């Protein structure tokens, strides 16, 4: 087998284009057999950003069948054909007619055909080839941000990473050093440095202090061509802020603070404020104050105001100028969140002294006690001293104190007080039963200052009240009661309040006869029983008995009283239940007083009057509303309260009948009522044409006046005229006019007007009957 290789040369920096064709020969004299032709092209390379005035030559494309006689024509197609690339159809020379930018498009895919110029038939198959744009360094590096912001803690060691900047180059990184970038720092030394390959910015100086300088302006450059001369570059700015750390302790502005306050400052009151400074910021500057010593450390306390970072000195215990005129405190301030890594520099706390001077003020007198309790017997004489109160002036001058009782607490003026020695005495007689306790307020004054103290006075009991029954008692005894039967149990009460409690005894009064019908038995528990001493009581003989009981107390001096019980004799059933006593007893048993009976009677009378009133109104409503006079029915107006159907109601009555009473037609049936009778239909005679001439003339006259008058109402207005004409065939139906005539009236025609006039016809028919009867 033998291969043939045909080579074509063209003017270009690209490799040679070759066409391969192959053939085989089998033995001697065998025919040469040729394979199908094919194009094999390597890539064309074209430099970007061509600035020449001529077309840029790319390369030459030529078929081996082209003899150079102009019979072969080359046709170019594909990306940028005719618009960017052109080919000389006779020679196959390829040119670029526009300046190209690799960053916009890096390669173009084109196709070439060789055809016979005369026949237009292809002499070579169409093939593709690539034109690649060769990069040049025409793009400078660009950072991803125009401005970077970064931060790093102050006092950071050298080499601490701050941030990283990144730049990119649009040139081809695979061709030369056009996209090879190198970072450098233009501004920001000696504080910071940048890694030339990665763009990482680091600290280059140790112990950078935020309190001295907080913000830094750093400029970073990125240069291509590996940083060589002639390379393009871009810059960016990095603003770096040092973050605060707690590297500074708080400090008092002065070593001693002084305050002057009145001794009247109460517990919890603010004396003053002290403040330390810390050049750190945020929580690193937060401080806590405390009292670490002093002459009386527990006298005061210091609190921290978190909003202002001040120390607030507070009174913890009452102050007294007379006891101590000045106080000294030792206070300390320290950071709330200290950083142990900086404690080796200095102690993170500070101390100061606080001098507090008290000012004497006029204070009110001070009582020895916060309250006083005194006792006095209720039978005490006037001006008896009950007790004493005492108040002193603690001021330096010890002014005299004057006492008085607040009149609002001593309205009845039962007590009084000695102005100088504070002795309280009675001014009126007391009664424990009216009030067992008295609360008064004593006022002590000196030089305009005053104070008060409550005084509680207890009135001690004296046995000065006799016991009495605790309620009103009435007893009832049956007529057949036996001797020794209990009819009532009584108890007593005493307004006194003995220490050992009450002890009452009950006895019959001495004035009771020896042969009394009843007796008293003391039960020993402050109660007593009323017993019968005989049997067989009779209401007819005596229905009420009086039993007198003497009640004594057990205190000294002994007090006693006599109380009376009424015993009613009553009729009882077999079980002993009371059935009938005297009138008074019955009323009391029923529980109805005379006033109650009168009230019930009045209510019954009022109810009867209301019933009578309603009955009268009801009877009045049932009367006939029609006013019928038997003397002359024509002189009366009768109300039917029956409403007609209006103009469109042709069933109610016939107007023709009213116009001509002689012509009567059959009553038409109503749709809304049941007809009472059917009447024979009579054709109504037509009314003469001249009957309504006067009305027609009147209407025409009014129409003409409205048409010609400029002040007339609009045409869509309704004008109403109360004009009846000259007369009516039906004449007047009023009975008022007929009353002047002496002749008899015939109203029988009303029967022919239908059921709606039936009642009127009946009225006139009844009147005629009465007249001729």
Q: How far apart are CA 551 and CA 562, in angstroms?
A: 6
pLDDT of residue 62: 81
pLDDT of residue 468: 92
Bond from prior residue into 557 cis (ω within 30 degrees of 0): yes
599 in helix, strand or coil? helix
pLDDT of residue 407: 92
DSSP state of 408: G
Q: Which helix (H) or strand (E) holds 378?
A: none
pLDDT of residue 121: 87
Bond from prior residue into 190 cis (ω within 30 degrees of 0): yes
Nearest Cα neighbor of 395 from 361, 369, 359, 440 is 361
> Which residue(s) pair with 352 in the sheet?
331
Which residue stretches of the chain have pLDDT < 70? 1-42, 344-346, 395-397, 514, 582-593, 622-692, 712-717, 722-745, 766-773
Q: How far is CA 102 from the centre of its chain?
A: 68
Cβ-contact 475, 566 below 8 angstroms: yes
Q: How far apart are CA 605 and CA 609, in angstroms?
A: 6
Task: Write out the DSSP string of 380-393.
Answer: PPTT-EEEE--EE-
Cβ-contact 187, 219 below 8 angstroms: yes
Q: How far apart are CA 412 and CA 557, in angstroms?
A: 29
Beta strand ranges found along 269-325 (DSSP E): 270-277, 287-294, 300-305, 310-315
Nearest Cα neighbor of 250 from 336, 190, 192 is 336
Q: How far apart are CA 467 and CA 492, in angstroms?
A: 6
486: CB partners within 8 A, 6+ apart: 529, 530, 531
CA triple 756-759-760, angle to 5 deg: 95
Cβ-contact 638, 763 below 8 angstroms: yes
748 in helix, strand or coil? helix
Q: How far apart are CA 143 and CA 186, in angstroms?
A: 15
Cβ-contact 531, 567 below 8 angstroms: no
Distances (CA, A) of 638 to 282, 635, 642, 739, 746: 107, 10, 11, 16, 19
Strand bridging mode 437-446 / 402-405: antiparallel
Question: Alpha-carbon torsion 701, 707, 708, 713, what sign?
Answer: positive
Phi and psi (nearest 5°) for 642? Answer: -120, 120
Q: Give alpha helix (H) positions in 591-740.
A: 594-621, 655-659, 693-708, 735-738
Q: How far apart are CA 102 and CA 172, in angstroms?
A: 8
Q: Which helix (H) or strand (E) holds 701?
A: helix 693-708
> Which residue(s) pair with 683 in the sheet?
none
pLDDT of residue 352: 95
Q: How far apart are CA 502 and CA 495, in angstroms?
A: 10
Q: Which helix (H) or strand (E) holds 452?
A: strand 449-460
pLDDT of residue 30: 35
> Which residue(s) pair with 548 in the sheet?
564
pLDDT of residue 760: 81
Q: How far apart are CA 57 and CA 148, in angstroms?
A: 46
């Amino acid at each position: 087998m033998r291969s043939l290789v045909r080579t074509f040369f063209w003017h270009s920096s690209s490799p040679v284009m070759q066409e391969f064709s192959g053939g085989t020969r089998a033995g001697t004299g065998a025919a040469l057999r040729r394979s199908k032709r094919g194009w094999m092209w390597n890539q064309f390379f074209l430099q970007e950003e061509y600035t020449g005035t001529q077309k840029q030559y790319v390369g030459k494309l030529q078929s081996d069948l082209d003899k150079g006689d102009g019979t072969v024509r080359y046709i170019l197609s594909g990306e940028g054909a005719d618009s960017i690339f052109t080919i000389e159809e006779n020679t196959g020379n390829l040119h670029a007619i526009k300046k190209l930018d690799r960053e916009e498009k890096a390669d173009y895919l084109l196709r070439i055909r060789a055809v016979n110029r005369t026949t237009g038939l292809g002499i070579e198959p169409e093939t593709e080839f690539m034109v690649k744009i060769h990069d040049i360094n025409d793009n400078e590096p660009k950072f991803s941000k125009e401005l970077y912001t970064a931060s790093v803690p102050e006092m950071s060691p050298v080499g601490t990473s701050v941030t990283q900047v990144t730049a990119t180059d649009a040139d081809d990184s695979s061709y030369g050093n056009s996209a090879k970038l190198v970072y450098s720092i233009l501004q920001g030394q000696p504080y910071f440095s940048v890694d030339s390959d990665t763009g990482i910015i680091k600290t280059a100086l140790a112990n950078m202090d935020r309190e001295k300088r907080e913000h830094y302006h750093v400029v970073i450059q990125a240069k291509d061509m590996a940083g060589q001369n002639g390379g393009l570059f871009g810059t960016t700015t990095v603003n770096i802020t040092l973050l605060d750390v707690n590297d500074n302790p708080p400090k008092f502005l002065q070593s001693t603070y002084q305050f002057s306050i009145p001794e009247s400052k109460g517990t919890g009151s603010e004396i003053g404020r002290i403040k330390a400074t810390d050049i750190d910021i945020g929580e690193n500057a937060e401080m806590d104050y405390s009292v670490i010593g002093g002459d009386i450390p527990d006298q005061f306390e210091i609190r921290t105001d978190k909003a202002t970072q001040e120390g607030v000195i507070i009174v913890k215990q009452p102050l007294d100028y007379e006891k101590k005129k000045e106080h000294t405190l030792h206070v300390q301030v320290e950071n709330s969140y200290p950083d142990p890594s900086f404690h080796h520099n200095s102690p993170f706390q500070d101390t100061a002294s606080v001098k507090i001077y008290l000012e004497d003020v006029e204070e009110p007198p001070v009582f020895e006690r916060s309250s006083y309790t005194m006792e006095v017997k209720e039978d005490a004489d006037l001006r008896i001293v009950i007790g004493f109160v005492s108040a002193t002036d603690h001021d330096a001058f010890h002014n005299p104190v004057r006492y008085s009782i607040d009149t609002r607490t001593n309205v009845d003026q039962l007590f009084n007080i000695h102005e100088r020695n504070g002795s309280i005495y009675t001014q009126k007689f007391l009664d424990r039963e009216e009030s067992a306790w008295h609360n008064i307020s004593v006022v002590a004054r000196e030089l305009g200052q005053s104070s008060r103290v409550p005084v509680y006075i207890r009135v001690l009991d004296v046995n000065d009240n006799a016991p009495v029954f605790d309620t009103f008692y009435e007893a009832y005894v049956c007529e057949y009661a036996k001797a020794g039967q209990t009819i009532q149990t009584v108890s007593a009460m005493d307004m006194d309040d003995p220490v050992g409690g009450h002890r009452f005894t009950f006895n019959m009064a001495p004035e009771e006869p020896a042969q009394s019908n009843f007796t008293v038995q003391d039960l020993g528990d402050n109660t007593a029983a009323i017993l019968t001493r005989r049997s067989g009581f009779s209401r007819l003989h005596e229905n009420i008995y009086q039993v007198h009981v003497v009640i004594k107390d057990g205190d000294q001096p002994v007090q006693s009283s006599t109380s009376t019980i009424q015993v009613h004799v009553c009729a009882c059933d077999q079980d002993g239940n009371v059935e009938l006593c005297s009138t008074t007893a019955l009323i009391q048993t029923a529980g109805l007083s005379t006033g109650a009976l009168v009230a019930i009677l009045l209510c019954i009378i009022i109810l009867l009057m209301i019933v009578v009133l309603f009955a009268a109104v009801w009877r009045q409503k049932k009367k006939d509303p029609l006013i019928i006079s038997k003397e002359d029915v024509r002189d009366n107006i009768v109300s039917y309260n029956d409403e007609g159907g209006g103009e469109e109601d042709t069933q109610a009555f016939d107007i023709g009948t009213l116009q001509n009473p002689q012509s009567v037609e059959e009553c038409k049936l109503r749709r809304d009522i049941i007809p009472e009778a059917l009447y024979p239909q009579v054709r109504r005679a037509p009314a003469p044409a001249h009957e309504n001439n006067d009305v027609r003339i009147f209407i025409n006259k009014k129409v003409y006046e409205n048409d010609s008058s400029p002040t007339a109402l609009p045409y869509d207005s309704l004008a109403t005229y109360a004009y009846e004409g000259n007369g009516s065939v039906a004449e007047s139906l009023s009975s008022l006019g007929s009353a002047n005539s002496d002749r008899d009236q015939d109203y029988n025609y009303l029967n022919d007007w239908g059921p709606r006039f039936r009642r009127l016809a009946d009225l006139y028919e009844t009147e005629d009957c009465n007249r001729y009867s």
